[in-house]
Amino acid sequence: MVDQNSDNKALRRKDKRDIVDNLILIAIAAILVVLAVQAYSLWKGTKGPIAIFNPPFQGKKEFTILLVGVDGVKEHQRTDTIMLARMNLETRHMGILSIPRDSRVEIPGYGTEKVNAAFAHGGIELTKETLKSVIGLPVDYYITVNFEGFKSFIDALGGVDVVVDKRMRYRDRSQNLNIDLQPGPQHLNGEQAMGFVRFRHDVMGDITRIGRQQQFVKAVSKRFMCAYNIARMPSLLEQLRDNVETDMPTKDLIALAKIVKKEDQLAMKSATLPGVPTNIGGVSFWQIDPEAVYKTVNDTFFPPSTDEKKGAQSQVGVEVLNGCGIAGMADQVAKALTDKGYGIHKTGNADNFDYRSSKVVVSRSATREGRRICSLLSIKDMQVDKKKDGITVIVGSDYCP
């Protein structure tokens, strides 16, 4: 008899390993892009953007970057890694949410499929549209990296010099991965470099591997800035351009590099889109948990500051309106919010009782608190009304027994 729980646990472990491995590669590749931009600006003698007249990120204080790792040739590319990173420049918080490639989602115009099929059907734009419907956030910028390009770029650099800390031997035919490295100082080509950063069989687990990745990035930076490669800068940038696509302007990449460089001043939080492995019609999926998605997004991207935790609830005026027609529902929801420290200044009826879904309507200044109320009440729909003050919760029929 097959132990379904054991199978599910093994699948979850494998999915987690695959996600971690691919996130490592796309993160390193993105760092290479930033290093290239910085090196190019130094080589050309250009300076950073003038913030007063031309602020980075179009003056936005918060923005979302979609990071996508692909493999294969242009006509047959598959999405191996999908990750959303959201940066808040004021709080210096960076949230990172990884999206399992087998996530079962509704792809506009194509029906229910795995999320990585969105890229195959409509490239980055359809991927952005699909994720917006799942996560509820628009994408401001994107970076796509071809993992084959990762190896090619290292080869174009002429390889990198690192100290291999131990004998590394590992083969995984399913991922076309064959790591075979000797300990000691080594000069690695692109294929070997990919094995170096992906190797995970360490006593200290990710602690050792993170140190190895940091060594690798420093080695790439040093190699990139050597006299030989500075003279070849145009061809190296051409190599990157062939394997990395982004709509983020150069000045914004430079600004982002400066922010990430001061990682000790960043508050970072990461999570994976919540769900469980499942099998439908013989096809393996990551079945998303819709109720947990909103909470995960809020916890990862919009954590409250210390001051907000202490006083925001008492400062925001909240009204709760009955939009389903069942007596007492507004009062029940109001009590739940009161128990969490919110001051309710009004309860009553909405303009009609035909609200099928509950929603939260907020003023511009109350969006952060509105998201928390949505999380507390498991409400997915939040709308911003520039003309209103405070927060209005409309209880729909989905909230009624």
Domain boundaries, the chain: 4-297, 306-399
Least confident of 48-52, 251-255, 291-295, 380-384: 48-52
More confident residue, 224 or 377: 377
On whether the CB atoms of residues 323 and 395 are closer than 8 A, the answer is yes
Q: How far apart are CA 268 and CA 29, in angstroms?
A: 19
- DSSP-assigned beta bridge partners for residue 265: none
Fold of 4-297: Aminopeptidase (3.40.630)
Kindly state the tokens that stand for 4. 């379904």
Return all residues near 317 (Cβ < 8 A) that are at least 6 apart.
343, 345, 389, 390, 391
- Assess whether pLDDT exceeds 70 at residue 139: yes
pLDDT in tens, 177-200: 788 999 999 999 988 888 887 776
Fold of 306-399: Alpha-Beta Plaits (3.30.70)
More confident residue, 28 or 234: 234
More confident residue, 50 or 90: 90
Strand pairing report for 391-395 and 381-384: unpaired
- Assess whether pLDDT exceeds 70 at residue 26: no
More confident residue, 258 or 243: 243
pLDDT in tens, 338-374: 877 788 888 999 999 999 889 999 987 788 788 888 8
Return all residues near 47 (Cβ < 8 A) that are at least 6 apart.
41
Q: How far apart are CA 305 and CA 325, in angstroms?
A: 37
Task: Note whether 4-297 and 306-399 share their fold.
Answer: no
More confident residue, 1 or 216: 216
CA 377 from chain center: how many Å?
A: 24
pLDDT in tens, 368-393: 788 888 877 888 888 888 788 889 99
Query: What was the pLDDT predicted at 131?
Result: 92
54 CB burial (10 A radius; 0-12, 13-18, 19+): exposed
